[in-house]
Structure 1
Amino acid sequence: MLSKQPKLSFWQIWNVSFGFLGVQFGFALQNANVSRILSDLGADLHSLSLFWLVAPIMGLIVQPIVGSASDRTWNRLGRRRPFILAGAIAAALGMLLMPNAPLFVAIMAPMLFGALMLALMDASFNVCFQPFRSLVSDMVPPQQRNIGYSVQSLLINLGAVIGSILPFVLTNVVGLENTARLGEVAPSVTWAFYLGATVLLGSVIWTVVRTKEYAPDEYYRFKGMDPEQVLEESSQKLTLGQRLLGFGQLVKDMPVTMKQLALVQFFSWFALFIMWVYTTPAITQHIWNVAPQWFDPEYIASVGEVPQHVIQAKGAAGDWVGILFAAYSVFAALFSVVLAKLADSLGRKTVYASALALGGLSYISFLYFQDLTLVNVNLFITEVTVPAGAVNLLFPMIGVGIAWAAILAMPYAMLAGALPANKTGVYMGIFNFTVAAPQIVSGLLSGLILKVAFDNEAKYIIVLAGVSMLLGAVSVFFVREPESMMTPVAEGEK
């Protein structure tokens, strides 16, 4: 018999997603600093995207496996929480080790060690991400789903703000050094990763302790499932071939909404991957006026060493990228506050498409904000002197932040009601293909495009990201939502 799932209080919804603040704190540190770390350890510019392929590949492998496993797991910690906690512990370990890559030079090359730690972090983040998405779907009733995913988006972006700005704060407030010679990692980045690991573990433990998942019988009753049938299906021993065949059948039978969202996801995440990989070199070249040749290890080896002014410019630009990433996360967090109400009143598709279009135009506008005039900027916590173009880039971050908030919430809100309750985890994992695949394509192509088409002028690859995001906005209008998902407010009043 189907029982009505109880509504949650705001703070219950908050606690369900609170651990995402720490996970995104770590993820933001990675996004803002891994290109910087790998460049300092010896990676050349057009190969950066190949190193970054580790992230989507790990998502592609890990999330469906974890999703399927969490669907079948019931123990003292619950259904999703064991995976969230295990992923957080592993991610924290990777964050502690990665900036110490030069210490392991006796074992392997620092750049290789850094790449392995990147793989560990990404695998672990994905172990956390997928169960968190499913936890919201499990715990939050349909009429609260918009607010559930909006709160998650808010916490994600709060974590991203702190994580992105942390190296800048450690340099300009605490006084740690932000520069590094080839083969080393800046102290400000190293300590930021240490703090990030601590926050990640603390916030995940909060969710694990403060959230009580439903017992199996209770969960099945809320979802209208027969416990005996579920038990019978889960007790079946299947061969590897049968499991692969069953997985293939799941992919074949995926909801139509999921297939249509895949196209939107492709263009959105193709663009995001470019932003994360190439914003640092783009800003360093375009705003700090550093020639592309100073990102080429072979050129640097031919001239002997990097001039001090280039080292300082790279350090300052790297810190400012953290400010820009924090800014778009702030705007995303602010937009998340009104996102649910806008989606309820205007419709998810209208809000989603508009947000992506604004993000695409914002990427393209990067070209028009170059100004090398030095200005003094009061950031409340400190004052810095940077090119005026760096300050001007805060304006397009508004559009990028709005797009990011929508990408984090709208696809999952549109998809959640179209998924069978007993396969939510595995389908959320399969849906991660639509996140990972475009990043893999972007990683394979963007470095080559940058080198061949744009002669390593990284600002033009950011424009390409803008075009991709605009195509994503158009694709939203081809998505058909299930009728039950179209009027969430009315559902809650029944």
Structure 2
Amino acid sequence: MGKQQPQLSFWQVWNVSFGFLGVQFGFALQNANVSRILSDLGADPHQLSFFWIVAPLMGLIVQPFVGAASDRTWNRMGRRTPFIFAGAIAAAIGMFLMPNAPLFVAFVAPMIFGVLMLALMDASFNVCFQPFRALVSDMVPASQRNVGYSVQSLLINIGAVVGSLLPFLLTNVIGLDNTAQQGEVAQSVMWAFYIGATVLLGTVLWTVFRTKEYPPEQYYAYKGMDAAQVAKQNAESKPVLERLKNFFALVIHMPVTMRGLAVTQFFSWFSLFIMWVYTTNAITQHIWGVDKKWFDQSFLSSLDAIPLEIVAAKGAAGDWVGIIFAAYSLFAAIFSIFLAKLADKIGRKVVYASALALGGISYISFMFFQDLTPVDVNLLFTQVTVPMGALYLLLPMVGVGIAWAAILAMPYAMLAGSLPADKTGIYMGIFNFTIAAPQILSALTAGLILKYVFDNVAINIIALAGVLMLCAAISVFFVKETERQEA
């Protein structure tokens, strides 16, 4: 009979996930600005999704290996925290270097350097992501699972709010330049990445030094398992082919809950990927009235210089993407406060499906907010003039934020109870397939859909994302929840 795992105080739960705030700070900066950076460095809009394929590809490769390794790792730093710490250092290096791509032109083309740094950041973020998810499962008892992942969702979204807003704040409060000619990176974006790297390292160090992971004997006693037997199994040296065979056996025989969630994850993450890649293009065209030809690299390459009004409109629209991304993260953070209680009261499925449906409707509503009338907006810390349609976009961000909060918490809360305690890390890594695969497929197809189906009118592909999110909502009701099957 296993010992009863102790309840954690709120601040202990907080410390377990605090580093995720910094990781998401960096990830939010990437989401809101990488399309902008790559476009300024010369990327064709039809090919943007191909560059973004780096993110899910890194997750697909990195997370299962990190999950398996962290399951077997017990050292002075802990079980999961060594990977979190190493990933944070590598991510910070990428964040410092990426906006400086033009400085390395003597050695490598800025575009190539930018993509390499994107790959480094994404690989490093993924080294952090999986252990953070598993750390909550390790440290938080089953009765606090909804709270644990809801707090993690709250911290993720606090980081995302500040990260998304930062370039805008640096432009409109500090006064840094937000415009860039072809082959350059805006000054506000550069400094945002420097600050983001610093915050990432600071918050991860907080989790590493404030969270004491259970030693193997204590951990497995809480899970009702024999620590000596698990250690013996982990110490066995197996040929590479046998390890691969065992890995694929885990995939084939994954818990039924994971199978059901995979369908929901497919639709929701395909949709999210479209939003991250094409929102900047969509609102620049639809809200700021910039013709689609100004996103055509063959057309731009025929010009001596891009007109200043077009550069200014793209810069303003790019900044506003940071505002609306921060807005949905803020609404997600607020909703995360109530998420655990709602899930406890009316059930995870109802909360999850309702949130996804609201997100889908919100994406589709983007199409109805086209109004070029200039309006002065007081954002407390500054005042800006934007088209009225841009201001209206804050309304659907409520629904997008609620959906995002649920996506960050509910699948993991539903999944954690079905995973064997000695394989939580590797199964969390395998579960990342359900995040990475739809994004890779979206990366391979979204640009073609934009070009050949929607004639490069980017707002239409955002509406498509809404339809896919509605499909995700429907699929939730087919997920079968099960409880942990102890190995």
Q: Which interval holds the TM-score relative to the shorter structure?
A: over 0.9
Q: Partners of 2:361 and 2:250 in 1: how far apart?
A: 37
Deviation readout 1:48-89 (Å, 9 max, x if unpaired): 000000000000000000000000000000000000000000
Q: Partners of 1:102 and 1:229 in 2: how far apart?
A: 54
**What's the TM-score once normalised by structure 1's chain length?**
0.98
Match of 1:164 in 2: 164
Q: Following TM superposition, by how much is the alpha carbon of 1:300 offset from its aligned partner in structure 2, in angstroms?
A: 0.8
Deviation readout 1:113-150 (Å, 9 max, x if unpaired): 00000000000000000000000000000000000000
Range with bigger deviation, 246-255 or 4-13: 246-255
Match of 1:102 in 2: 102
Range with bigger deviation, 238-247 or 294-303: 294-303
Q: Following TM superposition, by how much is the alpha carbon of 1:303 offset from its aligned partner in structure 2, in angstroms?
A: 2.9
User: How is 1:333-372 mapped onto 2 (pairs within 5 angstroms)?
Assistant: 333-372=333-372
Deviation readout 1:258-290 (Å, 9 max, x if unpaired): 001000000000000000000001010000101
Q: Is the 8 A contact 2:419 2:484 kept in 1?
A: no
Q: Partners of 1:221 and 1:115 in 2: how far apart?
A: 46
Q: Following TM superposition, by how much is the alpha carbon of 1:473 offset from its aligned partner in structure 2, in angstroms?
A: 0.2
Q: Following TM superposition, by how much is the alpha carbon of 1:229 offset from its aligned partner in structure 2, in angstroms?
A: 1.1
Match of 1:462 in 2: 462
Match of 1:249 in 2: 249
Q: Partners of 1:278 and 1:249 in 2: how far apart?
A: 37
Match of 1:91 in 2: 91
Which one-letter code corresponds to 1:292 in the other structure?
K
Q: Following TM superposition, by how much is the alpha carbon of 1:228 offset from its aligned partner in structure 2, in angstroms?
A: 1.8
Which one-letter code corresponds to 1:25 in the other structure?
F
SS at match of 2:22: helix
Q: Partners of 1:21 and 1:95 in 2: how far apart?
A: 16
Q: Partners of 1:107 and 1:430 in 2: how far apart?
A: 37
Match of 2:16 in 1: 16
Q: Does 1:188 align with 2:188?
A: yes
Q: Partners of 1:483 and 1:133 in 2: how far apart?
A: 18
Which one-letter code corresponds to 1:328 in the other structure?
Y
Match of 1:299 in 2: 299
Deviation readout 1:215-252 (Å, 9 max, x if unpaired): 11000100111112101101110111011001011111
User: How is 1:18-97 mapped onto 2 (pairs within 5 angstroms)?
Assistant: 18-97=18-97
Q: Is the 8 A contact 2:70 2:425 kept in 1?
A: yes
Deviation readout 1:389-426 (Å, 9 max, x if unpaired): 00000000000000000000000000000000000000
Q: Partners of 1:34 and 1:311 in 2: how far apart?
A: 17
Deviation readout 1:368-407 (Å, 9 max, x if unpaired): 0010000000000000000000000000000000000000
Distance 1:132-1:484 versus aligned 2 partners, 3 A rule: closer
Q: Partners of 1:235 and 1:215 in 2: how far apart?
A: 17
Q: Partners of 2:22 and 2:336 in 1: how far apart?
A: 18
Match of 1:143 in 2: 143
User: How is 1:146-295 mapped onto 2 (pairs within 5 angstroms)?
Assistant: 146-295=146-295
SS at match of 1:395: helix
Q: Partners of 1:229 and 1:160 in 2: how far apart?
A: 42
User: How is 1:435-450 mapped onto 2 (pairs within 5 angstroms)?
Assistant: 435-450=435-450
Q: Does 1:385 align with 2:396?
A: no
Q: Partners of 1:341 and 1:134 in 2: how far apart?
A: 22
Q: Partners of 2:89 and 2:309 in 1: how far apart?
A: 39
Q: Does 1:424 align with 2:424?
A: yes
Q: Following TM superposition, by how much is the alpha carbon of 1:482 offset from its aligned partner in structure 2, in angstroms?
A: 1.5
Match of 2:4 in 1: 4
Q: Following TM superposition, by how much is the alpha carbon of 1:483 offset from its aligned partner in structure 2, in angstroms?
A: 5.7
Q: Following TM superposition, by how much is the alpha carbon of 1:292 offset from its aligned partner in structure 2, in angstroms?
A: 1.0
Match of 1:408 in 2: 408
Q: Partners of 1:442 and 1:477 in 2: how far apart?
A: 24
Q: Partners of 2:176 and 2:400 in 1: how far apart?
A: 30
Q: Partners of 1:304 and 1:481 in 2: how far apart?
A: 60
Range with bigger deviation, 466-475 or 226-235: 226-235
Distance 1:481-1:311 versus aligned 2 partners, 3 A rule: same
Q: Partners of 1:107 and 1:452 in 2: how far apart?
A: 36
| Runs of 4+ residues over 6 Å off in structure 1 | none
Which one-letter code corresponds to 2:38 in the other structure?
L
Q: Partners of 2:213 and 2:233 in 1: how far apart?
A: 22
Q: Is the 8 A contact 2:420 2:484 kept in 1?
A: no
Q: Following TM superposition, by how much is the alpha carbon of 1:297 offset from its aligned partner in structure 2, in angstroms?
A: 1.6
Percent of paired sites with the same residue = 73
State the superposition RMSD in angstroms: 0.8
Match of 1:489 in 2: none
Which one-letter code corresponds to 2:395 in the other structure?
F
- 5+ residue gaps, structure 2, are none
SS at match of 2:375: strand
Q: Does 1:474 align with 2:474?
A: yes
Deviation readout 1:133-179 (Å, 9 max, x if unpaired): 00000000000000000000000000000000000000000000000
Q: Following TM superposition, by how much is the alpha carbon of 1:304 offset from its aligned partner in structure 2, in angstroms?
A: 2.6
Deviation readout 1:295-346 (Å, 9 max, x if unpaired): 1121011233211100000000000000000000000000000000000001
**What's the TM-score once normalised by structure 2's chain length?**
0.99
Q: Following TM superposition, by how much is the alpha carbon of 1:35 offset from its aligned partner in structure 2, in angstroms?
A: 0.2
Deviation readout 1:447-477 (Å, 9 max, x if unpaired): 0000001111100010010000000000000
SS at match of 1:384: strand
Q: Following TM superposition, by how much is the alpha carbon of 1:441 offset from its aligned partner in structure 2, in angstroms?
A: 0.5
Q: Partners of 1:112 and 1:292 in 2: how far apart?
A: 25
Q: Is the 8 A contact 2:150 2:340 kept in 1?
A: yes
Q: Does 1:123 align with 2:123?
A: yes
Which one-letter code corresponds to 1:218 in the other structure?
Q
Q: Is the 8 A contact 2:418 2:483 kept in 1?
A: no
Q: Following TM superposition, by how much is the alpha carbon of 1:484 offset from its aligned partner in structure 2, in angstroms?
A: 7.5
Q: Is the 8 A contact 2:348 2:410 kept in 1?
A: yes
